[in-house]
Amino acid sequence: MDSRKPFAATSLLAAASLILAACGAQGTPIVQTVVVTQEVAKEVVKEVQVEKTVEVVKEVVATSAPEWTKPHPILSDVRVRQAIAQCSDRDALIASVYDYVSDEDKPKLRMDTFMPKTAEFYAKDNPNIIDYKHDITAAGKLLDDAGWKLPEGGSVRENAAGEPLIIRFGTTNAAFRQTWAAVFEKQMSACGIVLQRSHVPGSIWFGGNSGLRRRDFDMGAFAWVGEAEPPGVTIYACDQIPTPANNWAGQNYMGWCNEKASNAIKAGNNTLDRAERIKQYAIVQEEFTKDMPSLPLFQRNETAGYNKNLKGFKANTTEYYSHSAKDWDNGGKDVVIALTQEPASMFGLIESAAVQRIAAILIDTGCYTQYDYGYQPNPQCMDAFPSIGNGATNDPVEPKDGDRIVDSSGNLAQIVGGKAVALDEENKPTDKVVTVKNEKGEDVEFAAGVKLLQLKVTHKYKAGAKWSDGEAVKAEDMLLGYKVSCAKDSGATSFYGCDRTASFEAKDVDGGIEAVSVYIAGYQPPTYFLPGGFGIPAHQVVASEGPNKDKKLSEVPTADFQKLPEITETPLGTGPYVLAKWEKGQRMTFEANKNYPGELKVKKIIIQFFGDTNGAVAALLAGDVDIVGSETLGAGAEAKAVIEAAAAGKISAENIASATWEHIDFNFNVR
């Protein structure tokens, strides 16, 4: 989960957000928080006969069910999902894109849960984790049991009605994904499954009105990117399933609702006790591998190539390289970055592709970085993060009637009539009484005298920060950022953090800005210390034509931000560069921000758009491009060409183990 949204205003929002990333040549990722440590964990997995470990429960839904709640006629059956997992030869998929990875190293990239095996939170010694080994015979038995049988002499399975087993499979048109998807299609064919494979531009697949976010797929492939701490609530919780009824909020595109897993993922993100977090994530992984809502494939190997004369370039698996742009030195020359995908918008709430983040970070770097699986404060914002006893408190409070709280399972609840009761899908109180965690961490029923812990976090921002138009950053900018991020009509994908915030205040003080986030009682987010950023420039006057012309951004309705050129195309920022010109389909030109503190040796950065990866690599080798990052380079022949050119001394290259991993979501529902 990537928390670097350009307009997030609180540490809460920063910690709770997920970034959808559209695909470049390698299929650039969606960002999920997954902890990956630098220590390589020993692989310990347990092979389990799947059909003996899973109890199949038939689902019955009324014919009048709302859109995207009706069970998928094929994929709602757990046996079919498990069979697809066993039809998959993940080593062959790895070999198709990384032919330079040895057979001995393939198991290091192969995944069996939603956690990379090198992650601290991976349940490596858990006997309940199911590793779906490649076994066509076992897969065939599962499909037979599910009613999909091979007719005599046939090659495509059919059900009792004679309908063929055909499944739509959608993903991006990245060369990387087209390569492994072609191999995957053949693997499914060997099991009697026909895939209707389609590849579309990332801007469509990850767009706000189609593809993934509208759950317009049967099986869909994309990537998650790991960070230093793993939330995942918006991906795996029951109340995070996007539907028209909730305006497509949430990132549980599968429609997977397993109450045990949902409660555990919330509990794991509602404690400051690391051991408890690890325990809860183990539960989620057990349920995940049992239900198989999403097929994890493999971690990616990342390669970046760049001009050998470019100094200060920093590639890192948990941070975007454009964060190092302020330190670049290209001998007085401009820097040209090659991308094979163009951002759809610069507004991070609606477009947060990796290519968008690379561009947006040049404009607004945010208030922290996350290099090497850790977090670092941006000195422009603050010198240190708050901690308990030093800028943050976690005191016991006794909630009163009407107060929202978080119960012992990490779910929202409310005090009604002296009891803690669960909330329904519309966040309205029900009659269901729930337990809470008292100040000692014990699960108890709420009653008079019971106290819950409540976090209050104060971020002190330094004075002197300026927007690129020269205006000073003010508290009202942070307040506007919070307002837009938490508005139901702003385009935000989740309100998990907003719903758990009791209050957010910001004020101008001598020496800077003081922002105070108070969370509702019982909410204990482990990344409470992260700052949100400088917000949105409330003073900026809208110059573009339309109903908001001549209004300040503080006066613009929240629903209009996602279509306002001042936000989507030419946003102000506090970072080292400004977007001077955007020639759609060709290039973006960034110029040095004259109001940025410190000297920038590179005065101009150009993001050049290429039709394919081969063209980008050719331009790098010819000296016309300075950077081809992993989001563009991908794997296979292109990566090998860059590695070989670096070995010959023509360019520089970095090859790093990635926290990014490919997977295929199964959609449990149909319209």
The fraction of the chain above a pLDDT of 70, given in percent, is: 89
Query: Cα–Cα distance between 92 and 305 in angstroms, integer?
Result: 26
H helix or E strand, kind and range, residue 480: helix 475-485
Question: What's residue 124's pLDDT?
Answer: 87
Exposed, middle or buried: residue 272 (CB in 10 Å: 0-12, 13-18, 19+)?
Answer: middle
Mean pLDDT of the chain: 88
Residue predicted with more confidence, 395 or 100: 395
Q: What's the pLDDT tens digit per position in 112-163?
A: 999 888 778 899 889 999 999 999 999 999 999 999 999 999 999 999 999 9
Query: Cα–Cα distance between 308 and 295 in angstroms, integer?
Result: 39
Question: What's residue 635's pLDDT?
Answer: 65
Both structure tokens of 84 = 């697809």
Query: Across 520-651, where does the E strand assignment appear?
Result: 577-583, 587-592, 604-609, 627-628
Dump the DSSP string for 202-213: HHHHTSSSSTTT
Query: Cα–Cα distance between 152 and 155 in angstroms, integer?
Result: 9
Query: Cα–Cα distance between 263 and 268 in angstroms, integer?
Result: 9
Query: Cα–Cα distance between 651 and 663 in angstroms, integer?
Result: 32
Query: Cα–Cα distance between 270 and 513 in angstroms, integer?
Result: 28
Residue predicted with more confidence, 661 or 44: 661
pLDDT of 596 > 90? The answer is: yes
Residue 630 and residue 355 in contact, taking contact as beta carbons nearer than 8 Å: no
DSSP letter assigned to residue 147? T
Query: Cα–Cα distance between 400 and 603 in angstroms, integer?
Result: 57
Q: What is the arrangement of strands in the sheet containing 452-462, beginning at the earlier edge strand? A: 387-388, 391-397, 452-462, 512-519, 501-509
Both structure tokens of 269 = 């993100």
pLDDT of 4 > 80? The answer is: no
Query: Cα–Cα distance between 254 and 60 in angstroms, integer?
Result: 18
Mean of pLDDT values over 473-499: 93
DSSP letter assigned to residue 47? B
Mean of pLDDT values over 625-635: 88
pLDDT of 362 > 50? The answer is: yes
DSSP letter assigned to residue 125? T
Residue predicted with more confidence, 27 or 578: 578
Amino acid at 314: K
CA distances from 448 to 253, 415, 445, 520 (A): 40, 11, 10, 18
pLDDT of 467 > 60? The answer is: yes
Lowest mean pLDDT, pick from 58-62, 72-76, 425-429, 589-593: 58-62
Query: Cα–Cα distance between 243 and 215 in angstroms, integer?
Result: 8
Q: Strand 429-433 relative to strand 435-437: parallel, antiparallel, unpaired?
A: unpaired
Q: For residue 49, how many other CB atoms are within 10 A of its CB?
A: 10
Residue 347 and residue 541 in contact, taking contact as beta carbons nearer than 8 Å: no
pLDDT of 56 > 50? The answer is: no
Question: What's residue 352's pLDDT?
Answer: 67
Question: What's residue 64's pLDDT?
Answer: 56
pLDDT-based confidence at 216, cuts 50/70/90?
very high
Place of tokens 């943050």: 392
Nearest to 320 by CA among 361, 291, 290, 353: 361
**SS3 at position 669:** strand
Alpha carbon 388 to its chain centroid, in Å, reads 27
Question: What's residue 67's pLDDT?
Answer: 85
pLDDT of 14 > 70? The answer is: no
Place of tokens 């060709």: 586
Query: Cα–Cα distance between 376 and 363 in angstroms, integer?
Result: 19
Question: What's residue 657's pLDDT?
Answer: 65
Mean of pLDDT values over 528-534: 93
Angle (deg, nearest 10), helices 78-87 and 175-190:
110
CA distances from 328 to 362, 593, 629 (A): 12, 15, 15
Residue predicted with more confidence, 174 or 144: 144
Q: What angle do CA 302, 306, 312 make, to 5 degrees?
A: 100
pLDDT of 54 > 50? The answer is: no
The fraction of the chain above a pLDDT of 90, given in percent, is: 71
Nearest to 195 by CA among 215, 216, 181, 176: 181
pLDDT-based confidence at 100, cuts 50/70/90?
confident
Query: Cα–Cα distance between 318 and 371 in angstroms, integer?
Result: 6
Nearest to 118 by CA among 44, 176, 180: 44
Q: Among positive and negative, which fits the CA dihedral 286, 290, 294, 296?
A: positive
Lowest mean pLDDT, pick from 43-47, 53-57, 168-172, 360-364: 43-47
Domains and CATH numbers, the chain: 41-165+218-301+663-670 (3.10.105.10), 399-450 (no CATH)
Both structure tokens of 81 = 């999902």
H helix or E strand, kind and range, residue 420: strand 419-423
Residue 480 and residue 553 in contact, taking contact as beta carbons nearer than 8 Å: yes
pLDDT of 427 > 80? The answer is: yes
CA distances from 163 to 147, 193, 670 (A): 11, 12, 17
Query: Cα–Cα distance between 120 and 36 in angstroms, integer?
Result: 6
Question: What's residue 491's pLDDT?
Answer: 85
Q: What's the pLDDT tens digit per position in 323-355?
A: 999 999 999 999 999 999 999 999 988 876 889
DSSP letter assigned to residue 150? P
Q: What's the pLDDT tens digit per position in 227-268?
A: 767 878 999 999 899 999 888 888 999 999 999 999 999 999
pLDDT of 1 > 90? The answer is: no
pTM for the predicted model, two decimal places: 0.70
Question: What's residue 77's pLDDT?
Answer: 98
Lowest mean pLDDT, pick from 218-222, 283-287, 313-317, 468-472: 313-317
pLDDT of 317 > 90? The answer is: no
pLDDT-based confidence at 52, cuts 50/70/90?
very low
Mean of pLDDT values over 303-329: 94
Question: What's residue 636's pLDDT?
Answer: 67
